[in-house]
Each structure stands twice: as structure tokens, then as C-alpha cells.
Structure 1
């Protein structure tokens, strides 16, 4: 029974991905005055789904190797290690979020 509900969730996620990709492809097709077939959207969805599964497996593996049960930003940065531009963007975002968190803690500590 757990497998059936897990498969149901997976199918719903895949349908949502198909819808989102279809919307993006349609928007870009209209912008470029071109047309994309449903088969193209389906193939692109399968490609993206496979990439998501691979990324999820890699992140989970990195986390487990570090002895954690939760994926952290360190795992994401490790995943992006072969794409220096992407890693730089992610690192900047993480640094910005950490700085905002510290600033918020400092502000809330002064209000007490």
C-alpha cells in the first residue's frame, strides 16, 4: 500500500513537472513564433525528471557520506563543484542568506 501512494505522489510530481515545462515551452514558442509538439514536451519532461532523480541521489549520497540524514547547502555546493559559475552563484546566495540570518538574530537579540 505504501508503494502505491509513493507511486501516486511520483506521478503527481511528474505531471506537475510536465505542466510547468509545457508552460515554459509554450511561452518560449509564442515568443519565437515557433511550435513545439507534445512529444517534444514529453521527451524534455523525461530528461528533466531523470536529471532531478540523479541530483537527488547524489545529494542524498553526499549527505550520508558526511554522516547526516539531512541534505545541507554544503552538499549542494559539492554537487555544483564541476560548474564554477553555478557554484559561484549558489555560494553567493548561501552567503547572503547566512548574513541575513545573522543580522536577524542580532536584531531580535537587541529587541529583547
Structure 2
């Protein structure tokens, strides 16, 4: 992923990440009555960017290993395997999303909007 991204896109994404992290740090420093230097925010941004790149590479590797070209929820759960709390949160989220999707599909079928797996025209 990182190799495929052009420098301009990379810089725009890093700038957006820096801005978001800066806002979060500002809110927390106000709440805690402390301060953070721009150097701290910059270093924190670089650390988060590196983590994002590592996770993206791992997700791509997992999907390729499974013979897929698309990352799916199984790959995300595999990333979280060493963090029990995060894994549980992700598992719960995925299960809720799947239940919602199944419920919506059943509702469409019950209303006659889908015939033999295809939408009515």
C-alpha cells in the first residue's frame, strides 16, 4: 500500500492525520490543564502514521495469504488477535453489523423487493 501511494497523496493524508491528532491533543491538554509542544504532536503523528502503514501491510498480507485481493473482517480480526479487549470490541461490532445486514435483507425479501436474490425491476 505505502509503495503504491504517490508523495502528494501521502503528504495530504499525513497533514490530515497531524491536524486530527493536534485537535485531540489540544482537547486533552485543556481537559488536563497541561500543554503539549508542536514537536510532541509531530512525533506522535509520525508514530501513528507508522502504525497505520504497518497495519495496512499486515492486512494486505493476510488477505493475499488467504488467496484474496480484498481485505475483509477476518483479516481485521486477525490483526487484533493479541489484544483481547480490542478483539472483543471488533468481534461485537462485526456481529452487530452482520445481524443488521441480515435483518435488512430479510425485510426487503418480506416486502417483495428481492426476487430470487435479485432486486425487482
Partner of 2:40: 40
Partner of 1:93: 93
Q: What stretches of structure 1 of length at least 5 have no aligned partner?
A: none
Q: What stretches of structure 2 of length at least 5 have no aligned partner?
A: 113-121
For 1:82, what is the secondary structure of its paired residue? coil
1:32-71 equivalent positions in 2, closer than 5 A = 32-71=32-71
CA drift of 1:9 comes to 0.5
CA drift of 1:33 comes to 1.0
CA drift of 1:11 comes to 0.3
CA drift of 1:47 comes to 0.3
Write the distance in 1 (CA, Å) between the matches of 2:42 and 2:60: 27
For 1:30, what is the secondary structure of its paired residue? helix
Q: Normalized per residue, which structure has more helix?
A: 1
CA drift of 1:29 comes to 0.5
Write the distance in 2 (CA, Å) between the matches of 1:32 and 1:85: 26
- TM-score, length of structure 1 as denominator length: 0.95
Structure with greater Cα Rg: 2
Write the distance in 1 (CA, Å) between the matches of 2:40 and 2:79: 28
Greater relative contact order structure (CA < 8 Å, 6+ sep): 2
For 1:70, what is the secondary structure of its paired residue? coil
Count of aligned residue pairs for this structure pair: 109
